[in-house]
Structure 1
Amino acid sequence: MTLRAPRTVATLAALAALGLTACGSDAEEPAGSDATGTDGADGTDGTTEDAAASAPAEGDGTVTLYSGRNEDLVQPVLDAFTDETGIEVEVRYADTAAMAAQILEEGDNSPAEAFLAQDAGALGAVAKEGRLLELPQETLDLVPETYRSQDGDWVGLTGRARVLVYNKDAVAEDELPSSVQELTEDEWAGRVGIAPTNASFQSFVTAMRVQEGDETARQWLTDMAANDPQVREKNGIIVADVDSGAIDTGLVNHYYLYELAEEQGVPAEELSAALHFFPDGDTGALVNISGIGLVDEQPDGEAQALVDYLLSEAGQTYFVENTHEYPMVEGVEPDASLPPLDSLDVPDIDLNDLDDLQTTIEMISEAGLL
């Protein structure tokens, strides 16, 4: 059964009202593939899927999930979990920030048993308030340390790389910037699409604060706002506008390009849009995660079974094949058209440090981008 949360909780208002010091995510657009790799199959390595299939007898047969990921994207894998385990998933869908805010507002009365978030910052915000449980070590060990909580209370499910999408007819490869800092220069005036309400953009700005300092991030936002940015509501819209030639470039997550290719029924390389991965550890090359944490006590183990299934071969393969995000577990290969995750020159940023989203949102708003 699916419960829908009202979408009237604005990211900024929700965070400010609750005094959150971190969180982030706007609604994620459906992915034919935020959005924004991994493969899906019925196979298992005999560990995580075995755990997922064994719901304790004392359970009520349901898991209440608060999801900041889009229904079109995740409902099929949740249905597969139900088919595999017999455990029903009752889902409340809204943007990630709203879901995080609601969990904190509801406190001990929250019906949420698991929180599926679009980025690490939102999970960190909820965890900071003591609302997430420590996960079993065997679950944590499935995911590299880089992509899980240092306190063990959330774990990454998929990896998503920040990129510059560009129109190949409008921007030559030798003209591509080596850093996001260059995008505030006159050369790029009116040519860059951004989605300031999107969780991925907010996490990217938070990462810039962590890597470069608040003053650099604040100046970048101010300069970007003065450079006639092409503001869009969602990453998918930016990619479509770049492909059509309405915008020359845009800051997005990598997988939206593949979503557009699937919508048009063509290989990604035949699109007019292409991806530029920033080099040299630039903040624009941040690899964030979508992830999950358990909320409060879990006496029946059914929510843990959901986590285990999403990290199983079947769950991870689903994400690879349907979202083109990077898988988090060994033995599941990413989309062959993507550069290997370990080949990306990512910034040296701990995802656990992205939990101060409130300040980031205030900066974005002060710059006039919200």
Structure 2
Amino acid sequence: MKMTPKSKLLTCSAVALLATTATLHAEMTDEARQFLADNGISDELIEQAATATATELDVPAEWLEKAAEEGTIDFSTNDAAGHVAEWLPVFNARYPDIEIVATETSGAARAVQPLLAYKSSNLVRHIVVSFEGSLPDYIEADALAELDDLPAWDGVPEDRRAADGTFAGMQNTTWCLIYNKDRVSEDELPATWWDLVAEDSALKDGRVGAANRAQLWTLNLWTHEDYGSERMTNEFLPAFFNTLKPQLRSEGVGGMINLPLVGEFDVGLPTPNDETAEMMETGAPIGWHCPEPVPQYFNLIGMFRDSPTHYSSKVFINWILSQEGQLVRLAAGGDGPVHKDLQVEGAAALADEYAGKDIALRTMDGMLNELPKLYDVWNPLWAETGGPN
């Protein structure tokens, strides 16, 4: 077909528009730069992230065009509403055509219920985050779409993302003990997890409150060379329940952080570094202590297959995995970056509490293959010793 002068002009204009769009989306926005600077991120890290945007945020123009035609992304998050209110405007400054509703929910509502709905052909959420405890169920249901074509995908370390590209780590979190400083002295704090459950533990007989969250810390010990599945089954877990005799609570992580303040128990576990740091900043009389080896893991993010927000969800997850997105979420809520180029000083809350200590990382193999075995031991012990459903 012969091209007329008018059609040539339109074609050139379209190409120019796409080029402009690509350029805009491959540079750090003024809003992101200002937000990071205002929230204590160093100039060095800001410039590093700004340089990385040229590749990490260079999403295909086709994705942006299709994303603009899709509806609102709906997902459940463990981010507090105040945190979302901080990072969402920064995201929307870059992608104003993508609408997001991020609702703070508990573990079951965030991870279990959306999967049950998906298996019933009723998609109620588009993106899923922090679903580690249900990961085997998601894999069995083949519920997650591939993400390994995201420009920011390679920034996630290989040991913290799925080999088939269906999920990735989005942040690092460290899980230790929160304690009431008015009720617990530093010399009562255990140096190791073995010390916590010892016969002469200063914290036994109900001074510890424990949430039913084995996947957040116990799995790390289960796969650690100093503990292992055999010793966990025959020694550590029986001692945890029968010697330590913790209060077995129905509350989640939020309860473990708040209840020591009102005297329900003296020490809460497991508690994350980011949320605990936020509570400590209020001046509350609490401390945070990490027995060795220190449990650390990475929260996951993925998206459901056949989502009506397929392209907008990919654009959003790509931003979350980029250095810009990682630093914005660090500044907004203390979420530790998982990005391989951001494992540096100043990029995690309360890092001084575990710096130099032995880290027990929860591995992909642990989540996929060892977690069901741990549950086979943990769940009966929890029930037999009076743990609530």
Whether TM-score is above 0.5 comes out as yes
Partner amino acid, structure 1, of 2:205:
G
Contact 2:75 2:103 in 1 (8 A): yes
Residue 143 of structure 1 and its aligned partner are, at CA, apart by: 1.4
Give the aligned partner of residue 28 of structure 1: none
Letter in 2 for 1:120: E
3-state DSSP class of the match of 1:347? strand
- 5 Å-filtered alignment, 1:93-132, equals 94-105=105-116, 106-107=118-119, 109-111=121-123, 114-132=126-144
CA contact (8 A) 2:209 2:248 kept: yes
Q: Residue type of the partner of 1:230?
A: Q
Tell me what 2:253 maps to: 235
d(CA) in 2 for partners of 1:345, 1:52? 42
Q: Does 1:255 align with 2:267?
A: no
Deviations along 1:162-199, one digit per CA (max 9) or x if unpaired, are 112234454444443232233233532235433424x4
Distance 1:254 1:135 in 2: 28
1:364 matched to 2:382: yes
Show CA shifts across 1:248-304 (max 9, x none).
323222223212123x2x4xxxx532222223xx3xx21122221121146852111
- CA 1:347 to 1:321, structure 2 compared with 1: closer, same or farther past 3 Å? same
- Residues 67 and 240 of structure 1: CA distance in aligned 2, closer, same or farther (over 3 Å): closer
Kindly indicate whether the alpha-carbon contact (under 8 Å) linking 1:131 and 1:295 is maintained by their aligned counterparts in 2. yes
Map 1:312-331 → 2, pairs under 5 A: 312-329=322-339, 330-331=341-342
Q: Within the alignment, does 1:51 sit opposite 2:47 as a pair?
A: no
5+ residue gaps in structure 1? 1-37
Single out whichever of 205-214 and 285-294 deviates more from structure 2: 205-214
TM-score, normalised relative to structure 1: 0.71
Coordinate RMSD, CA, aligned: 3.7
Matched, 1:290 2:299: yes
Aligned residue in 1 for 2:19 = none
Post-superposition offset of 1:217? 4.2
Q: 1:335 to 1:300 in 2, by over 3 A?
A: closer
Q: Which amino acid aligns with 1:365?
A: A
| CA separation of 1:95 and 1:362: change in aligned 2, threshold 3 A | farther
Q: 1:1-370 alignment to 2 at 5 Å?
A: 44=50, 45-46=52-53, 47-51=55-59, 55-59=63-67, 60-72=69-81, 75-76=84-85, 77-85=87-95, 86-91=97-102, 94-105=105-116, 106-107=118-119, 109-111=121-123, 114-136=126-148, 138-168=151-181, 170-184=183-197, 185-187=199-201, 188-190=203-205, 192-197=207-212, 199=213, 201-211=214-224, 212-213=228-229, 216-217=232-233, 220-226=236-242, 227-232=244-249, 233-242=251-260, 247-251=265-269, 252-262=271-281, 264=282, 266=283, 272-279=285-292, 282=293, 285-297=294-306, 300-329=310-339, 330-331=341-342, 333-335=346-348, 337-339=350-352, 343-347=356-360, 349-355=362-368, 356=371, 359=376, 360-370=378-388
Is contact 1:61–1:88 with CA below 8 Å preserved after alignment? no
Residue type matched to 1:96 in 2?
G
Evaluate the alpha carbon distance shift between residue 241 and residue 109 of structure 1 in structure 2; reply closer, same or farther with a 3 A threshold.
closer
Identity %: 21
Report the 3-state secondary structure (helix = DSSP H, G, I; strand = E; otherwise coil) of the residue aligned with 1:127. helix
1:223-242 CA-to-partner distances (Å, cap 9, x unmatched) read: 43344423442434434444
Give the AA of the match of 1:157. M
Q: Write the distance in 2 (CA, Å) between the matches of 1:215 and 1:97.
A: 30
Secondary structure of 1:275's aligned partner: strand
The residue type equivalent to 2:295 in the other structure is L
TM-score, scaled to structure 2: 0.68
- Cα distance, 1:157–1:244 mapped onto 2, change above 3 Å: same
What do residues 58-77 of structure 1 show as CA deviations (whole Å, max 9, x unaligned)? 34333533324245155323
CA drift of 1:320 comes to 1.5
The farther-off stretch of 331-340 and 146-155 is 331-340
Q: Is the 8 A contact 2:209 2:247 kept in 1?
A: yes
